[in-house]
Amino acid sequence: MKIFPEHAFADGTAQEISTCPILAFVSSRCQGLWHAARLLGGYESARLVDRCIDILAHDECVTPRARMMLEQILAVLSLEKVDDPNLPYMGHFACIDPLDPVVEEICLLTDGLRGVLGLNVGETDNKRVA
């Protein structure tokens, strides 16, 4: 499957089904990943999603670099760094109403990304389940 940057993933665009679960997940949920990253980590995190999609589109496979970026995106979505005062995540996270329906959508994206990456809760930073 050839992945193109965000414009290729617009709603209504027919996508070839990838045999790679990671590529299929990112392809079908790229806009949701981008918006969730922006809500939780600001535009810097959204740009991380953009760069990751660009790498996946260029390489047409999940390289170690792309996987590292996907794990960084997962860390943002799962709020792993939210308590670090040196990072801006706490300010973004604090602006979201816990009752907002977007919270459930972010949780579903987080669980889905964690699942396709084969990670359990708290297992980013290149720690894989044996």
Closest CA to 109 of 79, 81, 130: 79
Which pTM does this prediction carry? 0.76
**Structural domain includes residue 91:** yes
For 71-91, the pLDDT digits (tens) are 999 999 998 877 777 776 667
Give the lowest-confidence range in 1-5, 17-21, 34-38.
Answer: 1-5
Count of domains observed in the chain? 1
pLDDT band of residue 99 (cuts 50, 70, 90) is: very high
**Structural domain includes residue 31:** yes
**b/e per residue 44-63 (b: at least 16 CB within 10 A):** ebbebbbebbbbbbeeeebe
Model pLDDT, residue 122:
54
Domain range enclosing 70: 19-117
The Cα–Cα gap between 90 and 74 comes to 16
